[in-house]
Amino acid sequence: MDVRPILVTGVGGTVGGVGRMVLDHVRAHGVPARALLHHEDERAAALRALGGVEVVVGDLTRGADVVKALAGCRRAYFGMGVSPTYLEAATTVAAAVRDSGDLDLLVSISQMTVSQMSLTSAGESHQQRLHWLSEHVLDWSGVPVVHVRPTVFMENPLFARVAVASALRDGTIRLPFGSARTSPVAAADVAEVIAHLLLAPSSPSRRVYELTGARARDMAAIAAEFSAALGRPVTYVDVPYEEWLEEDLKKQDLPPHVFEHIATMARLHRENRYNRATNDVTELLGRPPLGFDHLLRNTPTAQT
């Protein structure tokens, strides 16, 4: 058995906590793990207290930090939050993995929107463009990379903050999606897929996995799922896009890069760009994807 550790980045992330859940899966299988965090804070201290995890503090855009984090590892997960420096981080990781020559698998998280993009497409967010470019950089580097492309997360602010807040406040889901269909995926499913790939005895058979929920449906159907999970009536209210930006999204106080990304995702939803569903989660994990009842069970405000 290869006892070299698996490196997990993005462990301190917030939306969905994919990196932390990947780390938990690796630890649960008794495999040596190394966690890269951006800051020496209470999260780093908590991980050290768990045992079985080597904690490294560093910056994914700094070559020396990435080289140190990768040293001696056999596999790695690359992921970080929505950030203007995403491409710089991906390029740094690609260069470090290529130069080391020791890694037999790098699993990189991307976005399913990338599958619909081209060099000249212009309707996507800056973050989505960074993911598209990052995939190309990693492929061109020649490193043994597998791209995991989730569609919109259930934990995305569109659902976990905006939709849940209005559903609890007045029994509505206020989003500008029109009659478009979508298939959000749970961060827990994405993390389990990534861990499955990292822990498999052999290399994955594919270079790209696209992860969605069980089926694509419109927001009226999703509102019905909220109703069933909460035990109270919830209806969908289709809000004009510009009104929604002013009355709902701007109140979330998001950084400009994140605001532009979420606003673009909402617009692309209205254009039916998220009307997609795959079987990759079921085929890899041997079970159906999680539903919105999982999100609501794990949202503290929904339990009050």
pLDDT tens digits, 158-201: 998 889 989 999 999 999 999 999 999 999 999 999 999 999 99
Sheet architecture: strand order including 145-150: 53-57, 33-37, 6-8, 75-78, 105-109, 145-150, 208-211
Residue 153 token pair? 């997360």
pTM of the model: 0.95
- How many Cα neighbours within 13 Å face the side chain of 207? 9
Q: pLDDT tens digit string along 76-122?
A: 999 999 999 999 999 999 999 999 988 999 999 999 999 999 999 99
